Amino acid sequence: MNIGFNTFDPTEGLKIPSQNQQILDNKLNRSYLSTSVGLAFRKLDVFGYYKFVTAVKNINLLPDRSNVMKQKKMKAISGFAFKGITAAVAAIYVVLFGLSFWNIISYNNKLKQYEAVKIDHTKIIKQKKIVSKEFKVINTSLKLSKTLKSNKELTYRILAQVASSVPNRVKFDQVVFNGSNRLTIQGLAATDQDILKFIENLSKQKLVEQASLSSMRLPKSSAGSATMKGFRVFVKIKRSTI
């Protein structure tokens, strides 16, 4: 009468689904579940002894543990991959921000020399204009020399004086020397004043006896947005120089 028995309950401490909990509640003696619970937990053996027992190895009363482990591994790998991608993107942004900051500092340092560079640029532009003007004079002289057939010294002197008389907005199409005392110049000018200025400059030359406008009825030609007027000028050479 003084001896009591405690029935072994293998389900104690286990989380049991609600649909099975009602069945277990009706059982006073749950010790017969010991074998099933023990076999189910054999796969939790860290030493892996269950692999060497055929009967135990073929019993699977737990969920598919291998698939669960694979899913956990995939989640872990995905987490590491996401973190790696995030870290890489963050590193790229850091590098880009660093380069941008360095470029800003570099550009600011360059802007400190802007005024000096601007002054040098203005000087170079002025020199370029002077050289361009001289180049146009030389180019005009070379172009005119191709239209003159005489190789006498007088021809060269006349050519040089004509080239020095050309205003900025006047250009030649043709120069004809008759070999004696007359030079015919045909070209284009921006305005009537440029033509008159050209004739005036010719009249001041030592070898020119008279310079006169022969015609302004030549076809007009456009140079960009400006309209150029055609002209023909007769130049009479002094007889004393022939």
Q: What is the pLDDT of residue 172?
A: 83
Q: Strands 208-215 and 221-223, how do they pair?
A: unpaired
Q: Distance between CA 162 and CA 109 in Å, rounded?
A: 52
Place of tokens 């790229």: 92
Q: Where do runs of H (alpha helix) occur along the chain?
A: 18-25, 34-40, 54-57, 65-111, 114-147, 153-164, 192-203
User: Hey, which residues does 229 pair with through a beta bridge?
Assistant: 189
For residue 147, count other CB atoms closer than 10 A to its CB: 15
Instruction: List Cβ neighbours of 15 (8 Å cut-off, separation of 6 or more).
Output: none
Output the six-digit token pair for 194.
């440029």
161: CB partners within 8 A, 6+ apart: 202, 205, 206, 207, 208
pTM: 0.38
- Residue 92 has what pLDDT? 93
Backbone phi, psi, residue 205, to 5°: -75, 150
Residue 204's nearest CA partner among 238, 147, 241, 165 is: 165
How confident is the model at residue 55, as a pLDDT? 54
Q: Which residues of the chain have pLDDT under 70?
A: 1, 43-66, 68, 141, 143-152, 179, 217-226, 239-242
The CATH 3.30.1360.100 portion of the chain extends over 149-241
CB atoms within 10 A of CB 30: 15
Yes or no: say if 193 and 213 are a contact pair by the CB < 8 Å rule.
Answer: no
Place of tokens 């009537």: 192
**What confidence score (pLDDT) does residue 186 get?**
87
Find residue 174's DSSP bridge partners: 186
User: What's the token pair of residue 81?
Assistant: 């991959």
User: What residues have CB less than 8 Å from 236, skipping those under 6 apart?
Assistant: 181, 182, 208, 209, 210, 211, 212
**CA pair distance 109, 118, nearest whole angstrom:** 15
CATH 3.30.1360.100 fits 149-241, yes or no: yes
Return the structure tokens found at 208. Answer: 């020119």
Closest by alpha carbon to 220, among 212, 211, 210, 230? 230
